[in-house]
Amino acid sequence: MGTRLTVGQAVVRFLAAQYSERDGERRRFFAGCFGIFGHGNVAGLGQALLEHADDLPYYMARNEQAMVHTASGYARMNDRLSTFACTASIGPGATNMVTGAALATVNRLPVLLLPGDIFATRPANPVLQELEDARSYDVSVNDCFKPVSKYWDRVNRPEQLPSALLAAMRVLTDPAETGAVTLALPQDVQAEAYDWPDELFARRVWRVPRPVPEPAAIEEAAAVLRSAERPLIVAGGGVIYSRATAGLRAFAERTGIPVAETQAGKGALPWDHECSVGAIGATGTAAANALAREADAVIGIGTRYSDFTTASHSLFADPGVRFVNINVARPDALKLAGIPVVADAGEAIGALDAALDGHSVPDAYRARARELAGRWNAVVDRAFGDGAFGDGAFGERRGGPPAQAAVIGVVNEVSGPRDVVVCAAGSMPGDLHKLWRTRDPKGYHVEYGYSCMGYEIAGGLGVKMAAPDREVFVLVGDGSYLMMAQELATAVAEGVKLVVVLVENRGYASIGNLSESVGADRFGTRYRVRTGTGLDGGVLPVDLAANAASLGADVLRAEGVDGFRDALRAAVASPRTTVVHIETDPLAPAPDSEAWWDVPVAEVSARESTARARARYDDDKKTQRHHL
Ligand SMILES: Cc1ncc(C[n+]2csc(CCOP(=O)(O)OP(=O)(O)O)c2C)c(N)n1
Ligand SMILES: [Mg+2]
């Protein structure tokens, strides 16, 4: 006996029956399906979502890229044990999801993308929005998803659907493989009926594995740590996804090894823990970076060692430094010529702890880490207090808008210990990484794998849907806001409350600073009107607060640090999505990480500023090294 359903209906029934399980905790893998309908999916998946609304709730987004971000935010907040499916029409609706797919895959977050596709049967080609490649009618715009998907398929016949769905689930629930999965669904096939075996719709539980380490790998790793005098742990996102933070804490306390955190790993330890030295790398703390420069052994746990973490391979400067890499993904475990411990973070930390059998670093080293962390905390106090950093030039601008660091300090102060801060691009991710005092492993959500402008509000929506009991503070720059603010309307429609802090500094402060450092004089980074050849006229008459109000959010226009604190408290007290608008000084500096980032500078130039920057670059480049 089978069940006669369309392909669209079968997809919805199947998705509704998938569960994940880890540590005995079982949950639905798909919390629902986001979508925007067009002719490529309205009669197929759209009709199916209507007919099976009780099985799989449908959510309407305002932009296809954004709905994939929402799914990513939701998946990250759920430690990858649950996500959303996303359906788009063919053509532009589909390709709008490509950036979202790349973000999910880079950050290793499970999202299922269901773009509509051109007719499999080709009765009236070309269909509206068809690419029409004259070299092959088998090509469609959905081929763009291939490099940004961990599994990609096109279901040209109903018979192909079961194996495609099972492959999708295999990849989505595999911690070493996960990322975006794309199943392209031709619009005629979506509406086609077929007799499906009943087993396809039976409840299926996908156990998310915790691979255990090989004893030999643990022995080798333990030997390195026993002989190390200045070891340092680099905690990445894998620690948090594995929920290994308690194990890490016990391990660090016993061994005395200081713990530094990547962007995805921030929150692995509470900020004031005795072993915490805070953020590492190009956006790190001076404390973690000093220890990294001296370290003779580095234990990377659940990190992929991006250039921000390694300061573009300039940070780990001890000539004899060795790496031990605990990672569920073998390619990451093998980086920097490390000893690979291919395993779940929690399992490996436990095994290493047992193998070290009470071994501890010398007391003097513990004390040194404490002292460096204490010094950095004083730096943060100062930055939060008045944002007054750097030279006297900033002092002259007093009376103008506050420094961004002071705004971050107020958000940190007003937010509760379990609340979540969300950010992705601009100058705030770096400042947050250095300054934010994390109190909960899920309290810090900065998307820095793809650092995608526009993720903030859309991703924050997913975070709040995953954690309705926590206040979610979305920090968004004016540049990111202008790229993608439309999901405010979705938040209002769904009654999902966000507190959005819109930081207006009239352009791209981050890229402005970078531009200045590479001798490009902040060219093209300010929001100004054109005068002749340049964009250096008056300030743009753009009112982003009014824009936010037009999308249905409540808006508070704050001025100065005290006004901002009052407005933020009011936003927290309100049950509605509220945007707090605050202007900041784009030139106020943040505390220095004392670490480099490799951004190549023009080798020849008629400009003196560029030539000077190149000379500096040539010097910095000498600090870059191979770890072979
Ligand atoms: C989609 C996208 N385009 C371009 C970039 C490169 N980029 C990084 S930060 C930035 C400017 C961000 O401006 P804003 O949100 O105002 O933050 P600010 O730099 O002013 O703090 C740009 C263009 C990016 N990260 N993402
Ligand atoms: Mg800006």
Nearest to 325 by CA among 338, 309, 343, 312: 338
How far does residue 493's CA lie from ligand 1's centre (Å)?
28
Minimum-distance ligand 1 atom for the alpha carbon of 424 = 25
How far does residue 54's CA lie from ligand 1's centre (Å)?
40
How far does residue 497's CA lie from ligand 1's centre (Å)?
25
Minimum-distance ligand 1 atom for the alpha carbon of 427 = 21
SS3 330: helix
427 lines ligand 1 (CB under 6 A): yes
Q: Which amino acid is at 103?
A: L
- Ligand closest to 427 (CA) is 1
Segment 75-86 mean pLDDT: 98
pLDDT score, position 296: 98
Among protein residues, the one with the nearest Cα to ligand 1's atom 1 is 453
| CA separation for the pair 263, 221 (Å, rounded) | 25
pLDDT, tens digit, 9 for 90 and up, residues 471-508: 999 999 999 999 999 999 999 999 999 999 999 999 99
pLDDT score, position 264: 98
The yes-or-no verdict on residue 389 having pLDDT over 70 is no
The yes-or-no verdict on residue 393 having pLDDT over 50 is no
How far does residue 524's CA lie from ligand 1's centre (Å)?
12
pLDDT score, position 534: 79
Minimum-distance ligand 1 atom for the alpha carbon of 480 = 15
pLDDT, tens digit, 9 for 90 and up, residues 200-251: 999 999 999 999 999 999 999 999 999 999 999 999 999 999 999 999 999 9
pLDDT, tens digit, 9 for 90 and up, residues 557-584: 999 999 999 999 999 999 999 999 999 9
428 lines ligand 1 (CB under 6 A): yes
pLDDT score, position 392: 45
CATH code of domain 390-583: 3.40.50.970
pLDDT score, position 474: 99
- Ligand closest to 456 (CA) is 1
pLDDT, tens digit, 9 for 90 and up, residues 270-320: 999 999 999 999 999 999 999 999 999 999 999 999 999 999 999 999 999
Q: How many helices (H) and strands (E) does the chain have?
A: 25, 23
The yes-or-no verdict on residue 196 having pLDDT over 50 is yes
CATH 3.40.50.1220 fits 215-376, yes or no: yes
Choice from 457, 511, 583 to test ligand 1 binding pocket (greatest atom count within 8 A of CB): 511
The yes-or-no verdict on residue 358 having pLDDT over 60 is yes
Give the residues across from 423 on adjacent strands: 446
Among protein residues, the one with the nearest Cα to ligand 1's atom 2 is 453
Choice from 453, 475, 516, 581 to test ligand 1 binding pocket (greatest atom count within 8 A of CB): 453
pLDDT score, position 394: 53
pLDDT score, position 558: 97
| All structural domains of the chain with their residue ranges | 2-207, 215-376, 390-583, 600-627
How far does residue 504's CA lie from ligand 2's centre (Å)?
6
How far does residue 33's CA lie from ligand 1's centre (Å)?
29
- Ligand closest to 407 (CA) is 1
451 lines ligand 1 (CB under 6 A): yes
CB 235 within 8 A of CB 303: yes
Reported pTM: 0.98
How far does residue 233's CA lie from ligand 1's centre (Å)?
30
Q: Phi, psi at residue 311, to the nearest 5°?
A: 50, 50
| CA separation for the pair 39, 500 (Å, rounded) | 34
pLDDT score, position 535: 82
CB 460 within 8 A of CB 500: yes
515 lines ligand 1 (CB under 6 A): no
Pairing type for strands 25-28 and 18-22 reads antiparallel
How far does residue 480's CA lie from ligand 1's centre (Å)?
6
How far does residue 433's CA lie from ligand 2's centre (Å)?
18
Cα Rg, the chain, nearest whole Å: 25
Distance of CA 42 to the CA centre of its chain: 31
pLDDT, tens digit, 9 for 90 and up, residues 542-554: 999 999 999 999 9
**Rounded mean pLDDT of the chain?**
96
The reply to whether domains 2-207 and 215-376 share a CATH topology is: yes
Q: Phi, psi at residue 146, to the nearest 5°?
A: -55, -55
Range of lowest pLDDT (37-51, 321-335, 385-399):
385-399
Alpha helices (H) in 484-607, listed in sequence order: 487-494, 509-517, 544-550, 560-573
pLDDT, tens digit, 9 for 90 and up, residues 600-626: 999 999 999 999 999 999 999 999 999
CATH code of domain 2-207: 3.40.50.970
Q: How many CB atoms lie within 10 A of CB 176?
A: 18
CB 74 within 8 A of CB 463: yes
Among protein residues, the one with the nearest Cα to ligand 1's atom 16 is 479
Instruction: Look up residue 447 and give its DSSP letter.
Output: -
Sign of CA dihedral 444, 449, 452, 457: negative
501 lines ligand 1 (CB under 6 A): no
- Ligand closest to 483 (CA) is 1
